Amino acid sequence: MAIITLTTDFGEKDHFTGATKGAIYSELPNVTIVDISHNVRPFNVPEAAYIIENAYRSFPKGTIHIIGIDSELNVENKHIAMLLDDHYFICANNGIMSMICSEIAPSKIVEINIHDKMQTCFTVLDVFVKVACHIARGGKLEVVGKPINSIKPINNLKPYVNEERTKIIGRVIYIDNYGNVITNVRKSFFETVQKGRKFEITARQYKFKTIYNKYCEFINFDIPKADRQDEGKGIVLFNSGGFLEIAMYKSDSNTHGSAATLMGFQVRDTIGIDFIKAPSKPPNETIYFNT
């Protein structure tokens, strides 16, 4: 049985998501449809790229992923279908796949060319659904498009490293539901530049000298729970997707705050990582945010 996922910026209010699902079921009554997210910020390609990269691997091979972000067809925004890592992706050629493609090379890419067969201003419903259902029936990509060799990149998707390789400049690419700030610095890239050196991460006026492996790693469980005062501590870690993340332990943007609200970070803001050759004084490994 085919699985089709949906990632869009449609939100929950309008008819777009329901209409898209109805069109799929009209063609494939037995298909399984999974909503990854419909709350991507409108036209936010990097945010959608981060979400789909961290979601798709949990699905079985052969899953078809429809990505409806900035998908209106024009001469600068063509549509593509791609086979990558044994998954199919259908989206606009607006850079949304470049994050995944920087790690894994696509097996096949086609530029969709079936638009002349239909009248549409809702391309996710009329075009992406048709392509997804064609693939789900076992159809080949070449039937719905012409092969191409490359896709558009997202600007500033990769972090900058200076010529001396003593500094990385990263950018915030996503802020999650907990207010955690995710950057474009991958663990693999960080370790390649670091080469065992000590470091200092600068995020606005805050500085960090330790990267944790999980949120609770800094807690001293030998201290009675009532005396720990763990909530509100700022930490840096590599998250489950392998991206450098600035977080606050058990954060809540609506109550005591989060890394994003207390530090004032927004998407596209920068962070700096400086690598230090000389031995340094043991760092204070956690930071308290004042609320």
126-137 pLDDT, tens per residue?
899 999 999 999
Average confidence (pLDDT) over 92-117: 90
Phi, psi angle pair for 49, to nearest 5°: -60, -40
CB distance 289 to 261 below 8 Å: no
Mean pLDDT in residue range 145-161: 87
The DSSP call for residue 127 is: I
Report the pLDDT averaged over residues 214-229. Answer: 71
Q: How confident is the model at residue 291 (pLDDT cuts 50, 70, 90)?
A: very low
